[in-house]
Amino acid sequence: MVLDPRAGTVVSTADTKTEALAAARRALRASSNRGAPRLVEELPPLQSALWPLAELERGSPPVRLRPVSRRRRDIFAKCNGKCHYCCRPLILDGIWHVE
């Protein structure tokens, strides 16, 4: 997706960065004939290298797991990991249902 930073509008979208940039350049050239500002000349020739691949592959931060209390582990062990009333399997660090 290519955005116009001045107006905040979407200029083009595509599956890859190079396709999106090419479509944005075509759209800007077409709109420049209608009196829009000439942004095409302002674009650097190597714009596809603005975002290195390493920056895009960082991913989300790791999820911190909450510690399981001793009481909860004892109950889980005594009931063999199943609900006492309905015998549904329980997850030690998950949500337990109460009936």
Residue in the block written with tokens 């829009």: 36
Token duo for residue 71: 């009481």
Residue 44 contacts residue 21 (beta carbons within 8 Å)? no
Token duo for residue 8: 């905040």
User: What confidence tens digit (pLDDT) does each residue in 34-45 have?
Assistant: 654 555 455 555
What is the value of pTM for the model shown?
Answer: 0.36
d(CA 14, CA 98): 49
User: What confidence tens digit (pLDDT) does each residue in 46-98 have?
Assistant: 545 555 555 555 666 777 778 899 999 999 999 999 988 888 899 888 888 77
